[in-house]
Structures are given as structure tokens and as C-alpha cells.
Structure 1
Amino acid sequence: MIDKLASLPHEAADTLARPFARFLKIEAAAGALLFLAVLLALGLANSPWHRVFLDFWETRIGLTFGSWDFSRSLRHWVNDGLMTLFFFVLSLELKREIVLGELRNPRQVALPLAGAVGGMVVPVAMYLALMSGESGLHGWGTVMATDTAFVIGCLALFGNRVPPTLRLFLLSLAIFDDVGAILVVALGYGEALNWSALGVGLLGIGAVASASRLGIRSVPVYSLLGVGIWLSVDASGVHATIAGVILGLMTPTRVWVSDARLRGILGRLLAHPAGEHWSGDTTERHDLLQAGAAVTESVSPVERLEMILHPWVGFAIMPIFALANAGMTFQGADFQQTVTLAVIAGLVLGKPIGVLGFSWLAVRSGIAVLAPGLSWPFIVAGSFLAGIGFTMSVFIADLAFDATMLNAAKLGILSGSAFAATIGTLILLQLTRLETRT
């Protein structure tokens, strides 16, 4: 029998907490929730309450002192504020995979990187060709990115019937895509630069780097610096979400307390005689607090922050983003508009051609290698799934298009993403059936 004292005490809440914790670990659940949020936004935008729903996101929130006004619409706070955390977690995941995960091998990371480059270049070229001479030419960034949650959600439908290396390939590709897209947003969809504010932001980034080198490990300190950097970048004219990317890539991957030191600290704690003597200014209490800090610091900051923030991003921030941005009225929707067709073509044709073509060239040239279990038919299916571009596509469309073209662009994003998801899923269905028969 396992000693009950060797585990944490059981509480009634654990009966609910444990299955909920397992639910949070399934990334595909975030995709399902995001899908429901999209449907809800579309339903409300086309209901009798559409005006109340759409006006709600234009509500201004902030502070005003005389002539100084720091207020933004609710949609702006979602897109520029909450989404900064989305990109922060995205960068944490990218850094963890490259430094600690499966992408440490340069030739393995080269495959999704090549696919991501192709998945950005070819759709953009296709979009620009179709929009030549049109007023929406500036919206080329709309067709660049892949939506991680929806892609993982599609793969989850097949369980272990798809190779895990396909999931890693698409996850890495989507991360590279999104980082590339946010860099394009920061540089291509910003405003006139305020160099003073940008300088303050760079000083803040320098302060974060200096604090890390000095060994400061206080989360509140870095949170305060992060808020200051965000405010500076927001005021500079560069899109504020780039602050999340930079800070995520700066987060250390090295643990502070080694395994040997952790065992030594825990051993000293366990050497105290049994009894309730953990309160007061005692040696036992000091050792207990030190053991708690050691356990926390035995996990790298990248992994610790990702574990804390990832559920909030997947189950709160992304659905809120969908509610704020996916609402569009279908009245007067016209698939004949050039921007709608260009976005659909970029996602449904440009994405798979770019991902597959650049991946093949990378392997053919010897720059990259196929991971074990990953075959070209599965990459073809994954290339179509990469055309699901909802989150970042809507994010960029909101920046790139005026009110007269935004609905047409959203129609193209939703339709193109749906077509790409359907084609990719059908190919995977056929592949898994063939593998089951053999």
C-alpha cells in the first residue's frame, strides 16, 4: 500500500479539480472552445441584438486627465493588450522547443521553418497578384499565419492514428508563422514612430536583461517592467504585441536549482523530527520555505510561465478575441469581391503550395530531414491544415482594412479557413483509413 503521507492531502475539491486539470492539458479543447466562440460571435452579429453586441466592443475604457487621454476601445484592449500575452506564451513555447525540446536538432527545426517561410511567401505573392491595382493591397499580411488551436483541434479528431511528428511539425510551423506575422504587424502595420517612446521601451528591455543577469527572480518585478515596456512600445507607434514576443524570447530556459541541490535541500527538511513545528521564527520553518522555493525554481522560468499562462490563453484570451473580432454580418456578403477571393486563394491554395514546396526543397537540398514516421502524404494533409488562419488573419485584417472592406476580408478568412480545414481533414481521414487496412 502506498503511504498516504507521501502525497498531498485530499480535499473534496480535488474530485472536480483533477478531471478539469486533465481537460486543460488537452490543447485541442482550446480549439473547440475557440470554434464555439466564433459561432457565438457570428450568431450574435446576425441576430436582432447585433447592434448592441457590436457596439459593446467599441466601448472606450481607460484614464483621462485634462488633455491627456489614455483610453481605448474594448476591442483595442483585447487585440493589443490581451493578445500580448498570447504572443508571450507563443514565444515561450518556441524557445522551449528550440532549447529544450524536439527542435534542438538544426536539421529537424529546418523542416518546419522552411515550411513556414513557404507558407508565408507563396500566399502573400498570390494575394498581391490577385489584388494588383486594388485598394486592399495593404492587407497582404492576412494570409500569412496558421491558427495553432484549430490545427491541433483537427489533428485531435484522429487521436493516435496520425504520427506525433506531424503534430510537432505543424505546431512548430504555426509558431514560426505567427512570430513572422507579428513581426510583419510591428513593422508593416504600425504608425509613425515616436523615437522617444521607443527608446524608453528599449531601456526597459535592457533593464529586464540586467535584472536577469543580476539574478533577480521576482515575478512582480518582471511583470512591472513588462507593463512599462508594453506602454512604451504602444506609445511608440510599433504594434504593442511585439513586446510579448521579445519578452518571451528573453525568458531563461535554465533552472536555478539543480537536481542535486534540490535533493540536498529536501533531505535537510526531511531530517527534522516529525511534528507540527513549522510556524514561528524557527530553523524548521526557514528550511520549509527554502524547500518550497527550491521546488519552484527546479523548473525553468520558460516552462513554469508556460504552464501557468497557457490555460488562460487557450481558454480565456483566445475565445474573448474571437468574440471581439469574428462578428460579421452576412447580409450583403458577396464572394465575388476581389479581396474575399484573394484571401481564400491565399489560404486554400497558397498555403499548401508554399508549405509543401519549400519543405520538399529543404529536404531535397539536404538542409532538413523528415522526422521518423512523417511521410509526404501526411505533410500534404498538414499543408492544407496550415491554411487555417483564423486568429492572426483576423488580427491583421482588423489593422489592414477599413470598415468598407473588413467584412469582405473576414468572409474570405472564415471561408478559406473552413475550406482548408475540410480538405486537410478529408486527406487525413483517407490516410488513416489506408493505414488501418494495412
Structure 2
Amino acid sequence: MSFVRSERVAAVLLLVAAVVGLVVANTSIGAPVLALEKVEVGPAGTALHLTLGEWVSEGLLAVFFFVAAVELRNEFTNGQLNTVKKAIRPAVAAAFGVLVPVALYLSITAGSGYTRGWPVPTATDIAFALGVLAIFGRSIPSRLRIFMLALAILDDVVGIVIIAVFFAHDINPLLLIAAAITVTGFAFLSRHIGGRFRVLVFLLLVVLAVLVWVLVALSGIHPTIAGVALGLAMAHQPGLRTRHTLEPFTNGVVLPLFAFTAALVPIPGVGIGELSPPFWGILIALPVGKLVGITLGTWLYTLISRDNRPHITVHGLLAAGALGGIGFTVSLLMNELAFDNRPEIADQGTLAVLLGSGISILVSAILVSTLNTSYRRLHRLRQQAVALSVKRSDERPPPHPA
């Protein structure tokens, strides 16, 4: 399963799973599959009485958020975001990459009563965006890759905050305090995972992690936040080892399964004029808002600041902006949360996320490919110049003796 760690493979699996889900939902087998997704499992009358689809989006997806949180912590402590100077440029880009899509969505849906969906076009799917960059941009310099990674990570932070703050309901403070205490115990134990009792400690960590998830789910906060809290709390080295172990599972099972269930949407039998404002808001704000916001924010920062780090070309900024418009996983989750009481609008929102992300995938693939070709040509010209310089040096006659 080690090949599933590849960003390219992860992106392909996500796309295939979403396409299969959309196709299945609109064929003869769609009805029984959709019925299966709605089967309820868990203690009746509690927040743990969920459908199979909800167990994927609230249970399994928490594992993905744990892995993402471990990576976040590593980047903030030892990686590309461990100083203000490193973080400021992608932070400005991420901020504009959130504000512009929100403004676009709100302007399109103004007066419709569906402004609650404003978070949907703010997300970037880090796995998918970096997968497209890995597939089409093998010759792109590291500074653009680092910028895109930092941008996607900060975008994930924004998404986590939005889910925790704006999609909480009927919060139970006592259960939240119990969850915080359990996370503290998890953090302490994770720093003592070695030695002859490591198996026992590992089992206790698993029990505590499940308990944190249950407490968060019952507290009124979306349970994926439990994964974030545990990932940030876990000791650094054990966290990185756990992330490495779980990565094939999240890339090969969790994310494709979530993409499949989220894309199980029958295409509405309505005309274009009958599609709701949220559909158009998401469809336009996700690819256009992200591209404009990220490009504009970085350009303004470069113009105003005296940042002397290597410059990113306009072509590179446009490519990063287009990659940022691949909302996919987190956008699909936010769409489910925003329109949980309006399933017909949620279905249209899902289609809009898939179409908007598809447009961003196509545009970013073109921009990254052309950028990659430019850098490859530049690299070839430099190699030829060096070879010519060496040849001329070899052909130069030796100096005459004095």
C-alpha cells in the first residue's frame, strides 16, 4: 500500500471515487445504494445514532483531520510556517483566497435566504491540489511548491476554524471540558509511548482517541474537530510516525470513500434557470473567487512589502490560485453542514462543488503544465549554456610560457 502515499495516486483515487459516486447515483443501482447510505447505526436517541454516510463524514473523516493536524503542527514548528516571515506571504494569499469567494457567494445569493452556504467555496483540498501539482508540475521550482503547500495548510486552518465555530450547535460545555481533559491525557501518554509498555500505551491512546471523538460528537461540535485536537496534541515524533502509518489508509480508503458518498447525488431534473442561487454562488465563487483572491492577495503583498525572497511570477500565482479552487473534500463537507436541513439544496451544492472543482482542476492542469514546460525549457537552455561554456574553456589554447 506504500504507493498510495503518492500525491498523484491520492488525487486520482479521489477523482475516480467522486465520478463513480455521481454515475452510480444516476443509474438503476442508485436507489439501493442511496438507501444503504441512509441506514442508521448507533445508540438510538443520541448524537451517535448516525447514517452510514454520516459515519463516513463524521467518523472516518476524523482520521483524515488527525493526519492533517499532525502535518499542520510539523509545519508550524519545524517546516515552512515556523517563522512569521515564512508564513506572511501565504497567509495573505490564504486570507484573500477566503474573502473574495465569500464576497462573490454572498453577492450572488443576496436576498435568497441561503447565505449560510458562504463557507463552501472557501476551502482548498490539499491532497487534490498537491496531487495535480505533482502530476503536471514535476519541473516547477521548489519555491512555488513550498508556497502552495503553505497556502493549502493555512487554508486548512481556516476550514477547521469555520467548522468548529460556525457549524456548532447546542454546545454542552461540560462534555467539551471532559474532551479537553481527555486530550490532555492523550498528549501526556503520547510522550511516553516507548519502552517495554509501548503496546499498552498504544492501546490506551486508541481508547482515549475514541473517547475524545465520542465526547466531541456529543458536545455539539462537529466530531472531525476531535481529530484536529488529537493531531495537534500528540507528541511530535510519535505523531509523525502515526501519520506515516495512517497515510495509506486515509489516501486509499477514507478520502475516496468520503468522495464517493458525498458525490452520491442524483442530477436534478430541472432546467438551468431553475437551479438555486447557492448552486451558482458555489460554482462561480469556488474557481473564480479562489483564483482572483489568491493572485490578487499575493500580488498586493509583493507590491506593498519589501519581501526580498524569490519572486513568484504572475503565471505561477495564477496556477496557485487555480489549484486553490479545488475545494473537493472540505467543500463537500461544508456543503453538507451548511444545508443539512435542505437536502435538495445540498444536492445542488454538491454538484456545484464537483463542477467548480472540476473547472479548477482543468484550469490548474493547463496553467501548471505550461509553467512546467517553461521551466523545463529554461533548465534545458541553462544546461546548454553550461555545456557550451565548458566546451569553450576546453578549446581555449594554453597560456604561453613566460
Instruction: Tell whether the structures are fold-level matches, with TM greater than 0.5.
Output: yes
Give 1:25 deviation, angstroms: 3.4
- 1:62 is matched with 42
- The answer as to whether partners of 1:198 and 1:232 remain within 8 angstroms in 2 is yes
Match of 1:381 among 319, 325, 341: 319
The yes-or-no answer on 1:408 pairing with 2:348 is: yes
Q: In the alignment, residue 102 of structure 1 is paired with which amino acid?
A: Q
Counterpart of 2:67, as a letter, is V
Q: CA deviation at 1:73?
A: 0.5
Which position in structure 1 is the counterpart of 2:224? 241
**Which residue, out of 423, 426, 429, partners 2:363?**
423
Read off the aligned partner of 1:243 and give its amino acid letter. Answer: A
2:12 match: 32
Between stretches 220-229 and 359-368, larger displacement belongs to 359-368
**CA separation in 1, counterparts of 2:149 and 2:169?**
31
Contact 2:47-2:217 within 8 A present in 1 as well: no
Closer, same or farther in 2 for the Cα pair 1:190/1:77, shift >3 Å?
same
Matches within 5 A, 1:33-432: 33-64=13-44, 70-211=48-189, 218-253=201-236, 300-336=237-273, 337=275, 338-366=277-305, 370=309, 372=310, 374-401=312-339, 402-432=342-372
Question: Shift in Å at residue 209 of structure 1?
Answer: 4.0
1:222-252 residue CA offsets vs partner (Å, 9 max, x unmatched): 2211211111111111111111111111122
The alignment partner of 2:260 has SS state of helix
Aligned counterparts of 1:214 and 1:164: Cα–Cα separation in 2 = 36
Query: CA contact under 8 A between 1:80 and 1:239: conserved in structure 2?
Result: yes
**Contact map agreement 2:5 2:247 (CA 8 A) in 1:** no
3-state SS, counterpart of residue 133 of structure 2: helix
Mapped partners of 1:335, 1:384: distance in 2: 25
Instruction: Return the alpha-carbon distance in structure 2 between the equivalents of residues 77 and 194 of structure 1.
Output: 21
Distance, in Å, in 1 between the alignment partners of 2:144 and 2:206 is: 35
Change (3 A) 1:301 1:213: closer
Matched, 1:434 2:371: no
Contact 2:190 2:205 in 1 (8 A): no
The answer to whether the 8 Å contact 2:268/2:348 transfers is no
Backbone CA RMSD of aligned residues: 2.2
- Give the number of aligned pairs: 369
Aligned amino acid, residue 120 of structure 1: V
Structure 1: gaps spanning 5 or more residues: 1-19, 254-299
Provide the rounded CA distance (Å) in 1 between the counterparts of 2:185 and 2:307.
38
Q: Is the 8 A contact 1:333 1:411 kept in 2?
A: no
| Separation in 2, partners of 1:335, 1:109 | 42
- Between stretches 84-93 and 102-111, larger displacement belongs to 102-111
Amino acid at match of 1:193: I
Partner Cα separation in structure 1 for residue 171 and residue 284 of structure 2: 33
TM-score (norm 2): 0.85
- C-alpha contact (below 8 Å) 2:80/2:150 kept by paired residues: no
SS at match of 1:311: helix
Q: Which amino acid aligns with 1:96?
A: N
